[in-house]
Structure formats: C-alpha cells, structure tokens
Amino acid sequence: MSAIADRLASVRARIEQACAAAGRDACSVQLLAVSKRHPPSAVREALAAGQSLFGENRVQEFAPKAAELAGSGARWHFIGSVQTNKAAALCAVPSLEVLHSVDRPKLVERLAVACGELRRSLRVLIQVNATGEDQKHGVLPADALALAREVVAAGPALALDGVMAMGPLDGAPEPVFADVAALHARLRDALGVPLPTLSLGMSGDLEAAIAAGSTLVRIGTDVFGERVAGA
C-alpha cells in the first residue's frame, strides 16, 4: 500500500469515527482530497486507492493538471479565490464539477456569461467569511442571501449547490461552524432550493465540522503529505 493510500485510509477512519460520534451515516460526508501543488502522479496514486474527488485552488495549475488526467476518473472541485479574468478559463475545464468560492456579484456575472457561451452548467457554492478575518475571502453572512439570489437568477448556467466556509485561524471552530450551518439552513428555506452541500472542515477541524453537519471536508496534507517546495 502506498503512503497516499495509507493516509487516505486514516482520514476515512477519522470521518467514520466523527460521523459515528455525531449520529450520522458516514456516507453523508464526502472527502475532497486537496491536490494543489502536488503532481498528477500523486492524484493517480489516490485514484488507485479509491479516491475520485479532488480539489485545486489555482487556475494556472488546475487546467493543465485536469487535462493530463482526463479520462482517469478524477472529478474536480475548485476551492480557491477566482479572479474575474480567470472565470472563462476555469469554466472551460470540462471535468470541473463544483466551484466553492463564489463571493461577489461580479464573479457571478462573469461565470454565468462564460458558462452560457460554453453551453454548460456549473454547480457553485457561496463562500462565506464567517469569522470576519481579513485573511479570508468570502461574502459576509449578512450579504449571503442577496448573493445567493443572484446565483439562482443566473440559472441554468449556474446551479447553487450550497455554502462553503473556513474555521477561525485561532480559537474554537464549533461556534463558527454552527453559525454557518444555521445560515445554510436559512438560505435553503428562503430560496426554496435543496442546497445539498455544506463544505466545512479541513485536517485540523474535520470532527467539529462533521458534528455541525458538514457534507464535505477538504483535506490536503493529511492525504498527500507536505506540498512540493516552491510550488
């Protein structure tokens, strides 16, 4: 068994244990293996170990990597902040399934135009800055509903799938995750759409995220090891 396969098994065990503690079915939480700054060969190792869902955060790295791995079975989410001038290049990656980082109306507009020109639909998440930290991207919670309405209005080019947020840089993640989960429920009720995805949790706080109701955890180093130096 490869090192990546070993780490995947360990992360999956943590997810199963966290789900059991929360009284949830382990199948209700997806593992997104964050492959940014790791080569396609590492993704192939993870694929061989049964992992199919991967996350990237830089368009200039993601597009060629996805092209090299076309036909491999890899499914892609984009989790990084998106500059509006990169929206078209991002939407042009055919294997991209979900964009996690919609955080402003201008980006919604550019994505809708790009997807419309390509005659494709893209599932997107509203990224919420739930902590107010300057280091984080995301719409403020008070503005999330207005932005979500813009995404819904942009259909069918864009399909609103849910909410993504990160825990605090310092302090307990539980109150932040509870707030985001409550916001997710309010958006679902206000919009009358399912919003199946609540993307919370990384390597250090996946247990708290799952307890709060996360349906997808984003795990990088604990799957792939340390990132390539200088990448």
pLDDT in tens, 190-204: 999 999 999 999 999
Structure token pair of residue 195: 């919003």
122-139 per-position pLDDT tens digit: 999 999 999 888 888 899
Mean pLDDT of 164-175: 94
**Mean pLDDT, the chain, integer:** 95
188 belongs to a structural domain: yes
87 belongs to a structural domain: yes
Number of domains observed in the structure of the chain? 1
Give me the pLDDT at residue 20, please.
98
**CATH number of the domain where residue 186 is located:** 3.20.20.10
Whole-angstrom distance, CA of residue 102 vs CA of residue 105: 8
What Å distances lie between residue 125 and 145, 172, 215, 218, CA to CA? Answer: 12, 24, 13, 14
96-110 per-position pLDDT tens digit: 999 999 999 999 999
Give me the pLDDT at residue 133, please.
81
53-83 per-position pLDDT tens digit: 999 999 999 999 999 999 999 999 999 999 9
Look at residue 144 and give its three-state secondary structure: helix
Environment class of 3 (CB within 10 Å of its CB; exposed 0-12, middle 13-18, buried 19+): exposed
231 belongs to a structural domain: no
Give me the pLDDT at residue 134, please.
80
> Which domain does 17 fall in, by range?
3-224
Confidence category of residue 156, pLDDT binned at 50, 70, 90:
very high
What pTM was computed for the model? 0.94
Percent residues over pLDDT 70 in the chain: 98
230 belongs to a structural domain: no
63 belongs to a structural domain: yes
128 belongs to a structural domain: yes
20-56 per-position pLDDT tens digit: 999 999 999 999 999 999 999 999 999 999 999 999 9
194 belongs to a structural domain: yes
116 belongs to a structural domain: yes
Q: Which long-range contacts (CB under 8 A, 24 or more apart) does 150-156 make?
A: 150/105, 150/108, 151/102, 151/108, 151/124, 151/126, 152/191, 152/193, 154/108, 154/109, 154/111, 154/112, 155/121, 156/121
For the cut 60, the answer to whether the pLDDT of residue 230 exceeds it is no
Look at residue 66 and give its three-state secondary structure: helix
